[in-house]
Amino acid sequence: MQYDVVVIGSGPGGYVGAIRCAQLGLKTAVIEKYKTFGGTCLNVGCIPSKALLDSSEHFHNAAHTFQTHGINLKDLKVDMPQMIARKDDVVAQNTAGIQYLFKKNKIDSFQGLGSFVDKNTIKITKEDGTTETITAKNVIIASGSKPTALPFLPIDKKRIITSTEALNIKEVPKEMVVIGGGVIGLELGSVYARLGTKVSVVEFMPAIIGTMDAGLGKELQRVLKKSLGMEFYMGHKVTGATAKGKRVTVTADNAKGEQVKLEADYCIVAVGRTAYTEGLGLENIGIKTEERGNKIPVNAHLETAVPGVYAIGDVIKGAMLAHKAEDEGVYVAETLAGQKPHINYNLIPGVVYTWPEVASVGFTEEQLKEQGTAYKAGSFPFKASGRAKASMDTDGFVKVLADAKTDEILGVHMIGPRAADMIAEAVVAMEFRASAEDIARICHAHPTYTEAIKEAAMAATDNRAIHM
């Protein structure tokens, strides 16, 4: 065989898995369909959306909070082409970084669509139509996902768009409708709401970010409405969208079955993502995808039904998160090298990069109730945090859930400033099976946002939070 491992896809799962394989002495190659490395995350997902989120947050603060800080500005305006150009530069830096890492780790890279001829032979179809084949002892499928489309709502990529096109709008829209109250819709919706767009979110379920602890969605909806003027149409079933000229009309039925019409400059369809398996030639090696979500079935070692062929990331079951894919890439690499790695899927954190940020790990309160697990809960609001008062970020709270008998931490859920970074403390604690008392006894620097985690842990153990 030419290679020990061939990885199809260079997103977070693919490139991280490839690098770990190379570190472990396995001769490795990566096949990427597109011209740049990094997959959805680096090119049209995590990285560019965070770049726009940061830029729009700077503008929003300049417009709404700088004066309170004693900073006076005039003639404030958005230079949208420059904002997009900065985002593109951030993307370019990150994708170039992967190319450097491949060279550093002596990983061969191929540009083209990789498809199975047999389980050890991969055909690469290049952009000009030419092909070549390579062989490998093992193959890792890391082909990622694509935005889910609604069958009755055609996406024209001009006015009815996905998250990909939403990253390149060259002007600030007056009005925007976002279909879907999940992470992607809320993040992109908040980008434009901060810049002055009237954003309406239409969600079929009764709550936004429905997979997270219910208290988080309730608080986030309240804050986004209060601070950004976002409107929410909960329990509404979208029935269609039509574009005419520079306007889009979205129709939906409310809980009573009454039709609601919303008009806007753009409509973002953000109803989830579907595993991307087109053109992989899975049928040539006997792999069948699941009907729901098009996912590739794998066993506990992330191996498909075909020995030596593995799959990771968005293309298999579980949360569609870049860091989950990265951990799975490392897991497969270390398994192939004869090691015994582990992944605790219950301890993979989820994050929403709105402001305030939302982060969660472990069991939600709703899950614990459903399981019949006896638990105790402690919460601490950021309005009682000295650090949050200093930065004017007093919305939100931290909630700690602990076992009623053993005090082991079962879940931590937070909405507030820098929650995306703070959740790591909870992940570390839970990985080592810490108790709420352990967190309560750890000295946290003052003044910091993380003191809220300590106070919430204290509240969960004998209701002894100090600052409320």
What are the pLDDT digits (tens) for 110-156?
999 999 999 999 999 999 999 999 999 999 999 999 999 999 999 99
pLDDT digits (tens, 9 = 90+) for 295-324: 999 999 999 999 999 999 999 999 999 999
pLDDT bracket for residue 328 (50, 70, 90): very high
**DSSP states of 3-16:** EEEEEE--SHHHHH
Decide: 233 and 260 in contact? Cβ < 8 Å: yes
- pTM, 2 dp: 0.97
Share of the chain above pLDDT 90, in %: 99
Q: Binding site for FAD: which residues? A: 50, 114, 314, 320-323
Question: For residue 31, what are the β-bridge partners?
Answer: 8, 110
Tokens 């990285």 found at: 47
State how far the Cα of 384 lies from the Cα of 467, in Å rounded to an integer: 6
Question: What are the tokens at 29?
Answer: 């190659």
CA angle centred on 397, ends 395 and 403, rounded to 5°: 170
Q: Is the pLDDT of residue 292 over 90?
A: no
Catalytic annotation, residues? 446
Q: Is the pLDDT of residue 195 over 90?
A: yes
- Mean per-residue pLDDT, 163-172: 97
Question: What are the tokens at 48?
Answer: 């560019």
How many CB atoms lie under 10 A from the CB of residue 447?
Answer: 13
Q: Is the pLDDT of residue 453 over 90?
A: yes
Q: Binding site: which residues? A: 50, 114, 180-187, 203, 272, 314, 320-323
Q: Is the pLDDT of residue 1 over 90?
A: no
2-147+274-337: CATH superfamily? FAD/NAD(P)-binding domain (3.50.50.60)
Q: Is the pLDDT of residue 256 over 90?
A: yes
Q: What is the CATH number of domain 356-462?
A: 3.30.390.30
Mean pLDDT of the chain: 97
Q: Domain residues of the chain, as ranges?
A: 2-147+274-337, 160-271, 356-462
- Mean per-residue pLDDT, 214-223: 98
pLDDT number for residue 369 = 98
Share of the chain above pLDDT 70, in %: 100
State how far the Cα of 240 lies from the Cα of 256, in Å rounded to an integer: 18
pLDDT digits (tens, 9 = 90+) for 24-79: 999 999 999 999 999 999 999 999 999 999 999 999 999 999 999 999 999 999 99
State how far the Cα of 20 lies from the Cα of 328, in Å rounded to an integer: 11
Q: Is the pLDDT of residue 343 over 90?
A: yes
pLDDT digits (tens, 9 = 90+) for 374-406: 999 999 999 999 999 999 999 999 999 999 999
Q: Residues, the chain, total? A: 468
Instruction: For 147-173, give one letter per residue: b (16+ CB within 10 A) or e.
Output: beeeeebebeeebbbbbbbbbebeebb
- Mode of pairing for the β-strands spanning 121-125 and 3-8: unpaired
Q: Which helix (H) or strand (E) holds 232?
A: strand 231-234
User: Do 160-271 and 356-462 show the same overall fold?
Assistant: no
pLDDT digits (tens, 9 = 90+) for 356-375: 999 999 999 999 999 999 99
Query: What is the three-class DSSP state of 363?
Result: coil
Topology of domain 160-271 in CATH is: FAD/NAD(P)-binding domain (3.50.50)
